[in-house]
Amino acid sequence: MCQECGCLEVDQIKIDGKLLSARNHTHQHDHSHHAENNVDTGREISIKQNILQKNNQIASHNREHFAAHHVFSMNWISAPGSGKTTLLEKMIEDLGNNLSIAVIEGDQQTDNDAARIRQAGAEAVQVNTGAACHLDAEMIHQALHKLPLQKNSLLVIENVGNMVCPTAYDLGEHLKLSIISCTEGDDKPLKYPDLLLTSKVLLINKIDLLPYLDFNVENCMQWAKKINPEIIIFPVSAKTKEGLSEFYQWLQQNL
Ligand SMILES: Nc1nc2c(ncn2[C@@H]2O[C@H](COP(=O)(O)OP(=O)(O)O)[C@@H](O)[C@H]2O)c(=O)[nH]1
Ligand SMILES: [Mg+2]
């Protein structure tokens, strides 16, 4: 379980395999290392507020960095295995000739996804979060130092596979995009409303599998709209590329 204060995992964060020493625990906050046993609720809330406040300051800095470089940035959030990396591979293949795309990959361990993105032809930096279940603004700030960004380019941040915690963290991105794949069940918007509330766009992926599943796309879309009436939804398949051109069209209009 990821602890909001980060005590348990800060020593394990790696950028492209290198330990992130700047984040080693420096005791800037006044709480016990055994927080789960002896911190009262009031203190816990204030620690969480401090963490999010600090995160938001760094997110603002990241936002300035994106603006200065004319970079459009998206934060992709979903359960593990919904198809984020596959969709990115297809997007690089389809748009990469005319649009510079860079990716920050978040996973607890391995650089498998960064390797896949480089293989597809785009720049990528891997962030390994250790025990943490989400990326935060500081991790993105550090990763940006390793990532040469082209002017007028697109940056996609593939968050750690998790439908809950990443929704709470502003990374400085222009928008959050969520993905629900058909194998996960059509009621996911109802079960994970924060995912839809914080997202500008929802991709419903793996529609090539619909003939084999009891997934009702209409229901999924209706439930997503009930939670966030403004959300823009594209049913797609990374495998067959069905629906991707509509998504690309929207993307190019919003860069
Ligand atoms: N049938 C089908 N499989 C897909 C699709 N997109 C991704 N997958 C498969 O789903 C698995 C997880 O994909 P991946 O991109 O690694 O998911 P991530 O964890 O969200 O990055 C892989 O086996 C992919 O080949 C799709 O549109 N249709
Ligand atoms: Mg992935």
Reported as a single tens digit per residue, the pLDDT across 88-138 is 999 999 999 999 999 999 999 999 999 999 999 999 999 999 999 999 999
How high is the pLDDT of residue 4? 53
Asked whether residue 129 is assigned to any structural domain, the reply reads yes
Q: Where do we find the tokens 């198809």?
A: 83
Residue 71 lies in a domain: yes
Structural domain including 66 reads: 56-254
Q: What is the pLDDT of residue 171?
A: 98
Confirm whether 40 is domain-assigned: no
Distance 78 CA to ligand 2 centre (A): 10
Q: Let me know: does 75 contact 177? Beta carbons within 8 Å.
A: yes
**Residue 177 covered by a domain:** yes
Question: 159, 167, 172, 161: which is closest to 197 by C-alpha?
Answer: 167
CATH number at residue 190: 3.40.50.300
Q: Residue 1: what pLDDT?
A: 44
Tell me, yes or no, whether 38 lies in a domain: no
How many structural domains are present in the chain? 1
The per-residue pLDDT for 124 is 98
Q: How much is the pLDDT for 30?
A: 54
CA gap 195, 7 in Å, rounded = 25
User: Does ligand 1 lie within 6 Å of residue 209's CB atom?
Assistant: yes
What is the whole-number distance in angstroms between the Cα of residue 238 and the centre of ligand 1? Answer: 7
**CA 134 to ligand 2 centroid distance, Å:** 13
240 lines ligand 1 (CB under 6 A): no
195 in a structural domain: yes
CB 154 within 8 A of CB 74: yes
Q: Which regions of the chain are under pLDDT 50?
A: 1, 5-8, 26-27, 35-36
138-176 core/surface letters (b: 16 or more CB in 10 A; e: else): bbbbbbbeebebeeebbbbbbbbbbbebbbebbbbbbeb
Enter the DSSP assignment of 172.
S
Please tell me the distance between residue 81's alpha carbon and the centre of ligand 2 in angstroms.
7
Instruction: Indicate whether 44 belongs to any domain.
Output: no
| Residue 80 CA, closest ligand 1 atom number | 19
Which of 84, 86, 244 most suits a substitution to test ligand 1, by most atoms within 8 Å of the C-beta? 86
State the closest ligand 1 atom to the C-alpha of 237, by its place in the atom list counted from 1. Answer: 27
Q: Is the pTM of this model over 0.95?
A: no
Domain contains 50? no
